[in-house]
A and B are shown apart, each in its own frame.
Chain A
Amino acid sequence: MKKYFGCVLILTLALFVLVPSVALCQGSIKVGIILPATGEKAKFGEIEKKSFEMALEEINAAGGINGKKLEFLYEDDTGRPDVARSAAEKLLTKDEVVMLGGGYGSSETFAIAGVAQQNRVPFLVNTGSDNKITEMKWDYVFRLNQPVSAYPEALESFMTDVVKPQSVAILYENTNFGSSGSKEFQQSCEKLKLKVVMNEGYQSGGVDFKPLLVQVKQRNPDVVYMISYLMDASLLMKQSMELKLSPKIFVGGGAGFTLPEFVQNADKAANMVYSATLWYQTLPYPGAKEYYDKFVARNNMPTEYHGAEAYSSAYVIADALKRAKSSAPDDVRESLTKTDMMTVFGPVKFVAYDKMTNQNKLPTYLVQWIDGKLELVWPKETAAKPYVYPIDWQKVWK
């Protein structure tokens, strides 16, 4: 017994040192933010993290959460669902965050949402768009951004009013984002009486999309709709240009197609390509243009809808925490349900519609790459620049 006495004494003393130091950190409120910092989706994670950081500075400068400092603990999900799950579990059990935020890739977001619901801690999704995430009747999961089924809304009115196509080909990356997006778009096309000549998934990270694109060329659709993350989008457009595909329009489903890196990598193959988007800096939401300008000045790179989602999400989190009765998860959840505020991304209010719950309802828009810049072209009322249609691909790609 005597020889263990020393050991026990040291351990007890260590405990007495640790506990007060933990208590000293009680001054701040911790929220876990899970984003892809490395891996395929790292570029998106970077834009979102920078936006979160910018918002956090502003929130804390304005007094934080009722005087207490707000702290974001960032975890890297590397773009893989299993890592996202571990990251969520670590934040909840080890760091004991009061809620979770972030969620970029749909597959990863779905995994995190499952963990959050299981542990009964609120999770505010700001980018993962698979409809399934808010269709599970998980009352601890909230979503700020539009679901993937809403992405092509502006495209649909554009097609009906301007392009009037007969046939559509859909190409999608085969994780949750692409799979659910393609299914939803197919249904919309069928409702609009458009013939879907092709609906093919692919594994992202491929070198050669020619096997797929050769089939597209053979079937000669009027519209080619592609759902991809960044590099696949660039390669798809470059190789479509090489094969001299000539549909009436190429449209991307957001994600890779709106990043500045898309036009940097695809060069002239990106020109005149349309994309769905969830936000644009000229929209009449207070603070939208200021957010864009401040981000560009601070980081020396442009931002787009992903950044706006993250920035607004930080404010929604802060607002909910301020109104919450305490920092217990159930009180935070209660406070989130009562959210009713305006952000740079648009108004935020969580409602139930279609099959979804705790979902924010917002319109989507259509942008077009014109001479290396992303312009908002549709709907007409909010357009910043006129759209370019019809398109002579031979001229564009010379």
Chain B
Amino acid sequence: MEMFIQTLVAGILIGGVYALIGLGMTLIMGVMRIINLAHGQLMMVAMYITFVFYEFLGLDPYYCLLIAPPALFLLGAAIQKYLLDPLLKIDSIIPQNQILMTVGIGMVLTETIRFIFHSDYKSVKTSYSSATFMIGSISWNVPMLVAFGLAVLITAGLFFFLLKTDTGKSVRATAQNKDAAMILGINAEWITQLTYGLGAAMAAAGGTLLLPIYYLFPDVGGPFTLKAFIITVLGGMGSTVGAIFGGLVLGVAESLGATYISMALKDAVGMVIFVLVLVFLPGGLKALTKV
């Protein structure tokens, strides 16, 4: 029983961080209808920015939450404006062109970082890196708990933005029907840039929170792009609430799979869920509700 609770706890905590990364991708998918395959790489860039501030200025990674996400927001908006938007203007456009462009962007980001920092593993050591406290016999990892808490806060902030502010409502309107939004006077081009930047910022936040727990190397982005994609599909493409549940479900499923099936098949659990969702519930979790 204790093993089950420990596993559940670990799964939920990491699920919170996964959800954050997935949220970014689902936002982009909702508004632009493309899968941002550079998502993990954007997260990786944010992690390197956090690392640089830690290494050279001694800044605690959590403070970098005020630096890395805004930086990635600007980077994301710039990528959208200068690299992705021009593709829209070319005639034979199928959204697939933009997806391919994101693949290329991901590769460029990875190799540029590799060129600057080499393939060395980097890690951040803080006083609380391995801090744990025990409740009964369940060990709670402090950085993961903090990451979960901050992820919840950031998600709440995002929801407030989307539901209560004008810009947020414009984003949702553009996601629902781009042409109608344009007719109503919303500057769709600017909104797409904002959304890509926002998605990148979410990924950045996830990365910054993940750095004290994990380690850093140029290729760290790939598996997380995949996880974000699974979460997006699981939650329903474009559904932010779905992404949250998707992230938690994936985290818990991976954790339970690792403990009760086999640690070696941990990633396979995510893949199996992915296939099952596509076969039995194509709309994702969103299809189960009206949200």
Residues of A within 8 A of B (CB): 37-40, 42-43, 174, 200-203, 205-212, 214-215, 218, 230-231, 234-235, 238, 241-244, 261, 264-265, 267, 269
Contact = CB atoms under 8 A, between A and B. Distances in A.
B60 interface: no
Nearest to B114: A38
Contact of B119 (A42, A202, A207, A242): A42
22 contacts: A38-B114, A38-B218, A39-B119, A42-B120, A43-B121, A200-B262, A203-B265, A203-B266, A205-B223, A210-B6, A211-B10, A211-B266, A212-B259, A215-B3, A215-B259, A231-B121, A238-B129, A238-B130, A242-B130, A261-B121, A265-B123, A267-B130
Contact of A214 (B3, B121, B210, B219): B3
B123 A206 contact: no
Interface in B124-174: 125, 129-130, 132, 134, 139, 141
B264 A203 contact: yes
Given A39-B119, A214-B3, A203 B267 contact: yes
Given A38-B219, A200-B264, A235-B215, 6 more contacts: A39-B119, A43-B120, A202-B266, A203-B263, A207-B14, A212-B259
B63 interface: no
B13 to A, nearest CB: 9
Nearest to A243: B139
Nearest to A206: B266
Contacts of B7: 210-211, 214
Contacts of B190: none
Contacts of B132: 242-243
Interface of B: 3, 6-7, 10, 14, 114, 118-121, 123, 125, 129-130, 132, 134, 139, 141, 210, 213-215, 217-219, 223, 255, 258-259, 262-267
User: Top 6 nearest A-B pairs by Cβ distance?
Assistant: A211-B259, A42-B119, A211-B258, A202-B263, A242-B132, A201-B264
A39 B139 contact: no
B266 A242 contact: no
A231 to B, nearest CB: 5
Contacts of A264: 123
Contact of B255 (A203, A211, A235, A244): A211
Contacts of B134: 244
Nearest to A45: B119
Contacts of A238: 129-130
B259 to A, nearest CB: 4
B264 A208 contact: no
A42 B119 CA distance: 6
Contacts of A206: 258, 263, 266
A214 B134 CA distance: 14
B205 to A, nearest CB: 17
Most buried by A among B130, B134, B267: B130
A311 B123 CA distance: 29
A214 B6 contact: yes
B10 A234 contact: no
A17 to B, nearest CB: 34
Most buried by B among A206, A207, A235: A207
B262 A201 contact: yes
Nearest to B134: A244
A235 B118 CA distance: 21
Contacts of B217: 40, 42, 231
